[in-house]
Amino acid sequence: MTTPPGIPDENSHATELRRRWTLPENAPFLVALRSALTSGTGDWRAMVRTWTQPWATENDLGGIPLAGANLSGLDLTGVHLSYADLRGATLTGCDLTDASLTGADLREARLVGAVLTRANAVLVSARTDGTLLTGARMQGVRRGFLHP
């Protein structure tokens, strides 16, 4: 049986991205990273870049659990947030230019005034019911396979 679009199967890339954040050895890093992201202090990109995991780049936050986080005003240009849990997150005024949110869970997220210019497949297979996009700039954004 084939898994529906946007719903990861047990062995999928999406599952692996999410699983890495749940590993006990990564818990301290996730706590520090969430703190840097939500407080607006600290160089979270440098933290990710120096992370010892093999997938680390300064832009790779794929699968990260940030449900309910206040990320207002962050520069998330070019960030890989595919399959991230952003349910109820506040991304007001964020710059998501060239970002990827493929398969991200954006239910009830607030992207008021966010910049999504050329966001790579930003809403492809994303869950978006209740998402607030008032005043968001979305030039060049691909949209499709939206899941309520």
Residue at token pair 């030039």? 139
Between the alpha carbon of residue 23 and those of residues 18, 29, 39, the distances in Å are 10, 10, 24
Identify the CA nearest to 66 among candidates 17, 137, 114, 135: 17
**Is the CB of residue 17 less than 8 Å from the CB of residue 112?**
no
Q: Tabulate helix, strand, coil % of the chain (nearest 5).
A: 20, 15, 65
66-79 residue pLDDT tens: 999 999 999 999 99
Separation of alpha carbons 102 and 76, rounded Å: 15
Check pLDDT > 80 for residue 46.
Answer: yes
- Residue 122 tokens, joined: 């930003």
Question: pLDDT > 70: what percent of the chain?
Answer: 69
- Residue 61 tokens, joined: 């936050």
Exposure b/e, 129-141, CB count within 10 A at least 16 = b: eebbbeebebeeb
Predicted TM-score of the model (pTM): 0.78
pLDDT of residue 115: 85
- The CATH number assigned to the domain with range 10-148 reads 2.160.20
Separation of alpha carbons 13 and 17, rounded Å: 6
Q: What are phi and psi of 70, to 5 degrees?
A: -100, 105
Separation of alpha carbons 127 and 51, rounded Å: 29
Output the average pLDDT for the chain. 80
